A = this chain, B = another copy of it.
């Protein structure tokens, strides 16, 4: 096997330049105690000799890394990949790396991923919880070491940490109100797993909007979908449309199931939005492509990622205590498209 080219260290630079390693180190870090001239000279030679800092060694010394860990359920979802993209851009600008891990919505994976990220001595953690997660003990390790945690989107109810969320209650309320404004009287709801408060709050918003408008809540119209998948959306729609008194509107907690509802209803010859108005949640790319285009709630996914990373960067700079509790709530927007627009 070929022998690796020996890497240049500050010792090599010290020998070359007749300075001590400490002077080299300081110059490379732009320490103010070193003269401008010396600093310049050292940096020039460092570049010429192809010196690359060993961040591992620096991390060992300082016991922290310029790395942010991200734990999410799955990367290949439009909302999540945009969120990561935002976080990466922000972190990168500040010289931070991004370490990612997927739980695939399994609690067990989340726990072991947390350990793996902890062992990598990340400087901060961004988390969107796995569907299964109810216990949060695996995050205590980080708190003990004063490593900031930012929960985003799927956040726990109680845990001292940063939280970056949208107002799911309000979004659910406004989505439902929108359908009511279009004349819907019997509005169904595709509700996700209720132990996740993103879904729980959307449902609460739905219920309150009905009540506030004097509409009856019919439990039969509330469909509990475990994973909010395309298939579950189809099943639920089938069931709803086979009722003696079918709904005239559906508020789905995600776009996947909502699109599925559109396709299913169309197949049955039901007119959208005249007979059935539909609104989803997330503003995934498919929502503007399906026909009729799906009304939905738009999330600022990329921005949520940026803010999450920003929180960690600030925390590190200010050396704050990780036992903090701060909530950042972002605005959502009701996007009205043809699946619910009866005013045309």
- C-alpha spacing A146/B216, complex, angstroms: 69
Q: Is the CB of A97 within 8 A of B85?
A: no
For A147, the closest partner residue in chain B by CB is B4
Report the copy number of this chain in the oligomer. 2
Q: Are A1 and B55 in contact (CB under 8 A)?
A: no
Decide if A326 is an interface residue (CB 8 Å cutoff): no
**Chain B residues in 8 Å Cβ range of A117:** 97
A197 to B44, CA, bound (A): 37
List 11 extra interface pairs beyond A4-B144, A85-B102, CB under 8 A: A1-B319, A1-B320, A2-B323, A52-B141, A53-B119, A56-B65, A76-B302, A100-B100, A259-B289, A285-B285, A286-B289
Query: Which 6 residue pairs spanning A and B have beta carbons closest together?
Result: A76-B81, A81-B81, A5-B144, A76-B82, A75-B85, A76-B85
Listed A/B pairs (24) with beta-carbon separation below 8 Å = A1-B146, A1-B321, A2-B322, A2-B323, A4-B144, A4-B146, A7-B145, A53-B119, A54-B121, A55-B121, A56-B59, A56-B121, A74-B85, A75-B81, A75-B82, A75-B84, A77-B81, A78-B78, A88-B100, A92-B101, A97-B99, A98-B101, A100-B100, A286-B286
